Amino acid sequence: MKKNNLANQPLQLLGGISVRKFLSTYWQKKPLLIRQAIPGFTGVTGLSSRQEMLQWVCEDEVESRLIEQVKGAWKLTRSPLPKNVQKRARTSPWTVLLQGVNTLLPEGDALMRQFNFIPSTRLDDLMVSYATDGGSVGPHFDSYDVFLLQGMGERHWQISAQKNLDIIEGAPLRILKQFKTQHEWVLEPGDMLYLPPKYAHHGVAQGECMTFSIGFRAPAHEEIASHFLNHIQDNLCIDGRYADPDLSIQKHPAEISADMLDKVERVLKKIQWKRADVAEFIGCYLTEPKAHIFFDVPEQPLSPARFRQKIGKTGIKLDLRTQMLFHKDRVFLNGEPYVATRDDLAWLKALADHRMLPSLKPCSDAAEAVLYEWYCDGFLHP
Ligand code: SIN
Ligand code: CO
């Protein structure tokens, strides 16, 4: 089916409107409540109950948080969480949050990929929360778009388009000083609420509940600029050295002369970049694994010949933690660029889009070698 037809088709996930309508009317503009976005949804395999959630949040290598409301005061504990987290938080309402569920569970990744009508460059991660009755993270706003999909149980959401986004100073969480409810709903399993950035919201569990947040990536301009400057610095190559055969006598030896500034300015103007450098930077930056991400290398790797044979039959799939993007002939995988030949480009693009290939047709020696390298790094699996 053509891309345009897909964009115009009504989607249950979006409450019966098309992607085109969603993008033009709601995305980054206004909230959308969707009843039964995913009918029958209560969670993903491996994460749909209090017990499973408590096991996950106490794992060593995950990013998790415990939020308690102790006698009206907010308390935040970051991972690694104590193994007896459940006992510590017995008396007052509490919430545990688990980031990056898409990197932990295949169904978490599959759930997040249902939102791939938004480009992968903007998708961030799937966060899951579990709260006891009355549990909440307080009234707040996020700097990025979010789809809040209700898993098991019910949550009462209040939202507000208020302009006053002042937060309580000194609190361990970003809690709004004032929150004026404009709309409210109780979300049941499978219901979903889309919120644009900076939209005030407050979700309180009614009985125990789990909420799945599909979060988006929107780096601050300053972050983009400073990472770009680092990238340029790493790739900088400027010849020459300061020279002044025309040096003139100065009245004040300590003065920085206009002539020196001219010369330095001319050197700095040599720092230039092309659009291809911007593409290289953004590809590496967006696919760079987050700080806590580590890949598991195969304990007994297949030989290159055996690997080739296997992927020819069974194909390949990206590791859940792998980030892959492309621009023109540049493929970016976990922060590293790779220049593809024209023949390899089509299947490398398909791999980046679908995160798997059912079988691999013969490819160039260079591509085969890099696939094997990625396999040995744990970035993909046969
Ligand atoms: C939650 O799931 O408890 C909070 C999610 C959010 O407000 O962004
Ligand atoms: Co939020």
Q: Which residues on adjacent β-strands are paired with residue 97? A: 65, 129
Whose C-alpha lies nearest to ligand 1, atom 1? 129
Same-domain status, 156 and 127: yes
Quote the CA–CA distance of 282 and 224 in Å, as a whole number: 9
Same-domain status, 134 and 193: yes
- Residue 1 confidence (pLDDT): 47
Same-domain status, 247 and 340: no
Residue 332: inside a domain: yes
Whose C-alpha lies nearest to ligand 1, atom 4? 137
Question: Token match 């760079």: residue?
Answer: 288
Tell how far the Cα of 213 is from the centroid of ligand 1, in angstroms: 7
Burial class (CB in 10 A: 0-12, 13-18, 19+), 80: middle
**Which one of 272, 292, 315 terminates a domain?**
272
Same-domain status, 247 and 114: no
Reading the chain (382 residues) residue by residue, the pLDDT tens digits are: 456 688 999 999 999 999 999 999 999 999 999 999 999 999 999 999 999 999 999 999 999 999 998 888 999 999 999 988 888 777 789 999 999 999 999 999 999 999 999 999 999 999 999 999 999 999 999 999 999 999 999 999 999 999 999 999 999 999 999 999 999 999 999 999 999 999 999 999 999 999 999 999 999 999 999 999 999 999 899 999 999 999 999 999 999 999 999 999 999 999 999 999 999 999 999 999 999 999 999 999 999 999 999 999 999 999 999 999 999 999 999 999 999 999 999 999 999 999 999 988 778 899 999 999 999 999 999 9
Same-domain status, 87 and 147: yes
3 state DSSP class of 190: coil
Residue 283: inside a domain: no
Whose C-alpha lies nearest to ligand 1, atom 5? 213
Same-domain status, 130 and 232: no
Quote the CA–CA distance of 368 and 94 in Å, as a whole number: 50
Same-domain status, 189 and 129: yes
| CATH label of the domain that carries residue 166 | 2.60.120.650
Same-domain status, 126 and 80: yes
Q: Which residues on adjacent β-strands are paired with residue 333? A: 324, 336
Residue 282: inside a domain: no
**Residues within 5 A (CB) of ion ligand 2:** 142
Mutate to test the pocket of ligand 1, among 127, 133, 198, 216 (most ligand atoms within 8 A of CB): 127
Ligand 1: atom nearest CA of 135 is 3
Same-domain status, 32 and 145: yes
Quote the CA–CA distance of 75 and 137 in Å, as a whole number: 10
- Residue 243 confidence (pLDDT): 98
Residue 280: inside a domain: no
Number of domains present in the structure of the chain: 3
Same-domain status, 64 and 140: yes
Same-domain status, 64 and 184: yes
Residue 17: inside a domain: yes
Same-domain status, 143 and 243: no
**Which one of 188, 216, 244 terminates a domain?**
216
> Which range of residues forms the domain containing residue 191?
2-216
Query: What predicted TM-score, i.e. pTM, was given to this entire model?
Result: 0.94
Residue 143: inside a domain: yes
- Residue 3 confidence (pLDDT): 60
| Total residues belonging to the chain | 382
